């Protein structure tokens, strides 16, 4: 994986994350507006209210993931600047190009990633 290609993939990933997170954030704001509009009218159908809350939690979860992904992309850009991009942070082996094409922000080779996920309890 050459640096130019890596940088472009990372830029694309970042733009994609920002676009997706932006959409979700707008939806969250609409949701807040709805709550304000209803001005203390708590007689809203309980089922509707419950499903709104569930959606909200899912969105917050999603935003959390997007933030984490973003951090990973920024970290990968730093590794690129430092000339250590594409090298597994755990074992020091080169990460497969195939893997980087799909996930340019990957910090670990696949076996190390799987081990790390197992440690994290996934
Ligand atoms: Zn590794």
Report the separation in Å between the CA atom of 92 and the middle of ligand 1, taken as the mean of its atom positions.
6
Q: Output the pLDDT for position 122.
A: 62
- Tokens in use for 33? 């507006």
Report the separation in Å between the CA atom of 89 and the middle of ligand 1, taken as the mean of its atom positions.
7
Report all structural domains of the chain as residue ranges with CATH numbers, in order of start.
3-119 (1.20.120.910)
Report the separation in Å between the CA atom of 26 and the middle of ligand 1, taken as the mean of its atom positions.
38
pLDDT band at residue 24, thresholds of 50, 70 and 90?
Answer: confident
Report the separation in Å between the CA atom of 113 and the middle of ligand 1, taken as the mean of its atom positions.
7
The gap from C-alpha 109 to its chain's centroid, in whole angstroms, comes to 19
pTM: 0.71
pLDDT, tens only, 43-75: 556 666 667 777 777 777 777 788 889 999 999
Report the separation in Å between the CA atom of 105 and the middle of ligand 1, taken as the mean of its atom positions.
14
Q: State the Cα torsion 86-87-93-95 to the nearest 10°.
A: -20
Report the separation in Å between the CA atom of 59 and the middle of ligand 1, taken as the mean of its atom positions.
32
Report the separation in Å between the CA atom of 107 and the middle of ligand 1, taken as the mean of its atom positions.
9
| Residue 94 DSSP one-character state | B
| Separation between Cα atoms, residue 104 and residue 10, nearest integer Å | 6
Half-sphere exposure for 122 (CA within 13 Å, toward CB): 6
């Amino acid at each position: 994986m050459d640096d130019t290609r890596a940088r472009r993939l990372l830029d694309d990933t970042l733009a994609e994350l920002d676009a997706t997170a932006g959409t979700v954030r707008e939806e969250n704001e609409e949701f807040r507006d709805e709550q304000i509009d209803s001005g203390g009218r708590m007689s809203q159908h309980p089922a509707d209210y419950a499903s709104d809350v569930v959606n909200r939690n899912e969105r917050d979860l999603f935003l959390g993931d997007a933030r984490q992904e973003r951090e990973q992309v920024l970290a990968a850009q730093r590794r690129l600047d430092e000339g250590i991009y594409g090298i597994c942070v755990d074992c020091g082996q080169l990460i497969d190009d195939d893997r980087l094409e799909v996930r340019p922000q990957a910090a670990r080779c696949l076996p190390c990633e799987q081990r790390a996920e197992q440690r994290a309890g996934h």
